[in-house]
């Protein structure tokens, strides 16, 4: 009984000790006094400190992992912080510990008038009639009319700015988009995402979630049009599956022959509609809609129990993992037949797959040579040999991966370390050496 009590006490003590260690480390990381450093103004910034008579910059105050970097030439007697990242002394202005060239410390104004601006978090600064963004000057920006918007967007009377180098002629007052993050901005009928115009239908533009948005025509993923997807009926079903009016998708890949009106997701891997069962977006040929319920789908999701073998690029069968033999990482044997990563090899038996190197990267199947899962076009199976490190040859050519190397003679070629082949503008591969 005493043993059980002691075991219980030990198990209770472990999380308490862990919490105490975490607290000590946290105090050490966040308390600069343990490093003989004192923050100039901890209410404004945790990045600038006085230590041993020198001004020290510490990213986010993380002395524990990063340590402090003295700012050469900074005057501790006149040094003061302006924001989290900006600071000054009598001689210079600093951003993240670096001197801001062209900034005048006697003339400083933080730009904080944005939609989501905070007094101490703006990356924009006006000094000596110039506008600075994150410590770099924005050429030709009008300081008198300059204002911060949100994220990395700002404007003056003539232009809308994104960071330093991207700007657009002002058409109207930019606006934040409802439910969007700071990457999106409405500018008239333009929608701008991270400094790029992605849509001219701002009035119909709608944020779906952190990844997706739509306008009247297109679906956007992280600001890029998703080819094939349409806005009509677009829905994010789960983190893995989506659909529109025409079809369903696994992530952004169309699911062939899918019926969006009857499409139902059973779990992260398995879905079905009136016609097919789907596994990670592929049609499952050896399961019927009627026989796959939610509980059946839970069984099929167990990767250690089931393996998907491709019949074609978009059709698979689900078979017991224990019944599948890995010939290589790209070819599999099941039921005395051979499957690649993309398709079933008709008429090929496992014994027909001849491994040509110790790494199992090159194989010969009939008259074809494969590098991983790709055919080495034109390679002669009768004279083909593997050299080393992705290089091979036959009687006529030297190959790197699946590419012919135009300046290599198979009769004289010898592999050396750091050798590879690279493509030129004409699409030809030439020998090069890693620097």
pLDDT digits 0-9 by tens, 171-197: 899 988 888 778 899 999 999 999 999
Strands, sheet with 235-236, edge to edge from the N-terminal-most edge strand: 235-236, 241-243, 248-250, 253-254
Q: Which of 184, 187, 188, 173 is nearest to 206 (CA)?
A: 184
Give the separation between CA 383 and CA 202, rounded to whole angstroms: 62
Q: Which of 371, 372, 392, 368 is nearest to 382 (CA)?
A: 368
For 254, residues 6+ apart whose C-beta sits below 8 A from its C-beta are 228, 247, 248
Phi-psi region of 325 (alpha: psi -120 to 50; beta: other; left: phi over 0): beta
Average pLDDT over residues 383-411: 96
Q: Would residue 220 count as lying in a domain?
A: no
Give the separation between CA 5 and CA 181, rounded to whole angstroms: 53
Q: Would residue 162 count as lying in a domain?
A: no
Range of the domain at 382: 376-435
Give the separation between CA 381 and CA 400, rounded to whole angstroms: 16
Phi-psi region of 20 (alpha: psi -120 to 50; beta: other; left: phi over 0): alpha
Check residue 192 and give its pLDDT.
Answer: 95
pLDDT digits 0-9 by tens, 207-216: 999 999 999 9
Give yes or no for residue 25 having a pLDDT over 60: no
Q: Would residue 396 count as lying in a domain?
A: yes
Check residue 13 and give its pLDDT.
Answer: 54
**What band does 64 get if pLDDT is binned at 50, 70 and 90?**
low
Check residue 181 and give its pLDDT.
Answer: 76
Give the separation between CA 348 and CA 344, rounded to whole angstroms: 9
Average pLDDT over residues 39-65: 88
Q: Would residue 409 count as lying in a domain?
A: yes
Q: Look at the chain and report how many structural domains it folds into.
A: 1
Average pLDDT over residues 390-406: 97
Give yes or no for residue 33 having a pLDDT over 90: no
CA 182 to centroid of chain Cα atoms: 18
Give the separation between CA 87 and CA 109, rounded to whole angstroms: 12
**What band does 29 get if pLDDT is binned at 50, 70 and 90?**
very low
Average pLDDT over residues 240-265: 96
**What band does 16 get if pLDDT is binned at 50, 70 and 90?**
low
Q: Sign of dihedral through CA atoms 423, 424, 429, 432?
A: negative
Give yes or no for residue 4 having a pLDDT over 80: no
pLDDT digits 0-9 by tens, 328-344: 999 999 999 999 999 99
Check residue 61 and give its pLDDT.
Answer: 80
pLDDT digits 0-9 by tens, 92-145: 999 999 999 999 999 999 988 766 555 556 689 999 999 999 999 999 999 999
Q: Would residue 432 count as lying in a domain?
A: yes
Q: Would residue 43 count as lying in a domain?
A: no
φ, ψ at 28 (rounded to 5°): -65, -45
Average pLDDT over residues 46-66: 86
Average pLDDT over residues 257-270: 96
Cα 148–Cα 152–Cα 157 angle in degrees, nearest 5: 40
Q: Would residue 399 count as lying in a domain?
A: yes
Give the separation between CA 129 and CA 146, rounded to whole angstroms: 11
Give the separation between CA 177 and CA 173, rounded to whole angstroms: 13
Give yes or no for residue 23 having a pLDDT over 60: no
Give yes or no for residue 237 having a pLDDT over 70: yes
| SS3 track for the chain | CHHHHHHHHHHHHHHHHHHHHHHHHHHHHHCHHHHCEEECCCCCCCCEEEECCEEEECHHHCCCCCCCEECCCCCCCCCEECCCCEEECCCCEEECCEECCCCCCCCEEECCCCCCCCCCCCCEEEECCEEEECCEECCCCCHHHCEEEECCEEECCCEEEECCCEEEECCCCCECCCCCCCCEEEECCEEEECCEEEECCHHHCEECCCCEEECCCCEEECCEECCCCCCCCCEECCCCEEECCCCEEECCEECCCCCCCCCEECCCCEEECCCCEEECCEEECCCCCCCCCHHHHHHHCCCCCEEEEEEECCEEEEEEHHHCEECCCCEEEECCEEEECCCEECCCCHHHEEECCCCCCEEEECCEEEECCEECCCCCCCCCEEEECCEEECCCCEEECCEEECCCCCCCCCCCCCEEEEECCCCCEEEEECC
Q: Sign of dihedral through CA atoms 51, 54, 59, 64?
A: negative
Give the separation between CA 26 and CA 282, rounded to whole angstroms: 48
State what percent of residues in the chain have pLDDT above 70.
Answer: 89
> pTM of the entire structure?
0.76
Calculate the average pLDDT of the chain. 90
Write down how long the chain is. 435
Task: Spell 53-80 as b/e; 16+ CB within 10 A means b.
Answer: eebbbbbebebeeeebeebeebeeeebe
The terminus-to-terminus CA distance of the chain in angstroms comes to: 68
Give the separation between CA 156 and CA 179, rounded to whole angstroms: 25
Q: Would residue 210 count as lying in a domain?
A: no
pLDDT digits 0-9 by tens, 225-234: 999 999 999 9
The tokens for 206 are 């709608």
Give yes or no for residue 50 having a pLDDT over 90: yes
């Amino acid at each position: 009984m005493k043993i059980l009590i002691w075991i219980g006490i030990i198990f209770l003590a472990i999380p308490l000790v862990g919490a105490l260690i975490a607290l000590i480390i946290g105090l050490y990381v966040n308390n600069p006094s343990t490093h003989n450093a004192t923050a100039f103004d901890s209410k404004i910034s945790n990045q600038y400190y006085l230590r041993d008579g020198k001004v020290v910059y510490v990213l986010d105050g993380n002395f524990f992992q990063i340590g402090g970097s003295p700012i050469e030439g900074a005057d501790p007697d006149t040094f003061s912080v302006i924001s989290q990242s900006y600071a000054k002394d009598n001689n210079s202005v600093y951003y993240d510990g670096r001197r801001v060239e062209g900034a005048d410390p006697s003339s400083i104004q933080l730009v904080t008038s944005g939609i989501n601006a905070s007094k101490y978090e703006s990356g924009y600064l006006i000094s000596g009639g110039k506008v600075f963004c994150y410590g770099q000057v924005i050429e030709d920006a009008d300081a008198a009319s300059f204002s911060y918007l949100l994220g990395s967007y700002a404007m003056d009377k003539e232009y809308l700015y994104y960071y330093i180098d991207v700007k657009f002629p002002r058409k109207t007052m930019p606006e934040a988009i409802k439910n969007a993050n700071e990457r999106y901005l409405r500018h008239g009928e333009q929608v701008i995402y991270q400094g790029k115009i992605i849509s001219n239908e701002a009035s119909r533009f709608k944020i779906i979630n952190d990844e997706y948005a739509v306008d009247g025509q297109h679906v956007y993923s992280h600001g890029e049009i998703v080819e094939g997807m349409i806005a009509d009926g677009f829905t994010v079903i789960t983190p893995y599956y989506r659909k529109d009016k025409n079809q369903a998708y696994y992530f952004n890949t169309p699911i062939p022959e899918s019926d969006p009106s009857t499409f139902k997701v059973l779990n992260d891997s398995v879905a079905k509609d009136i016609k097919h069962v789907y596994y990670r977006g592929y049609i499952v040929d050896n399961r019927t809609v009627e026989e796959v319920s939610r509980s059946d789908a839970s069984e099929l999701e167990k990767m250690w129990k089931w393996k998907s073998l491709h019949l074609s690029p978009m059709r698979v069968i689900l078979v017991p993992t224990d019944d599948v033999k890995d010939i290589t990482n790209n070819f599999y044997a099941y039921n005395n037949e051979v499957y690649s990563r993309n398709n079933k090899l008709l008429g090929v038996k496992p014994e027909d797959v001849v491994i040509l190197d110790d790494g199992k990267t090159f194989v010969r199947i009939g008259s074809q040579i494969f590098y991983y899962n790709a055919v080495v076009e034109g390679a002669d199976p009768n004279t083909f040999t593997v050299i080393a490190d992705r290089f091979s040859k036959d009687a006529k050519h030297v190959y790197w991966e699946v590419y012919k190397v135009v300046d290599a003679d198979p009769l004289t070629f010898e592999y050396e370390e750091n050798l590879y082949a690279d493509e030129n503008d004409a699409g030809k591969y030439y020998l090069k050496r890693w620097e």
